[in-house]
Amino acid sequence: MTEERSYTLVLTGDAGIKSAQDVAASLLEAIENHARLEVDTQTLSAADLTTVQTLLSARANAHARQRDLTLLAPLGAPLKAVLDQAGFLSPGQEHRSFWTTFADQPAGH
């Protein structure tokens, strides 16, 4: 039996509140069509708390559908800045592992 390869969704440009509906639609479409989804945020030019909420919502949606949604490391600088400023990367935060699952691993792993 062959396992479906991960699909990579690349988020580019501004993923903040102005683009939230488009970002959410892209994530939902990818979740509906792929069992394993990796989200690449490295080319984001802007992010805000809406971006964080949209990604957490997509993760919950994927989980409810028994799908896998992960973030590729390293996180895009705008997203990482929002996460840092809002405290999402602090030890003990509920969703910290979602944002940092692969952050401590060397490149190529």
Domains of the chain listed by start with CATH number: 7-100 (3.30.750.24)
Is the pLDDT score of 4 beyond 70?
A: no
Nearest to 57 by CA among 8, 89, 7, 95: 95
Locate the DSSP E strands across the chain. Answer: 7-14, 36-46, 68-71
pLDDT digits (tens, 9 = 90+) for 37-93: 999 999 999 999 999 999 999 999 999 999 999 999 999 999 999 999 999 998 888
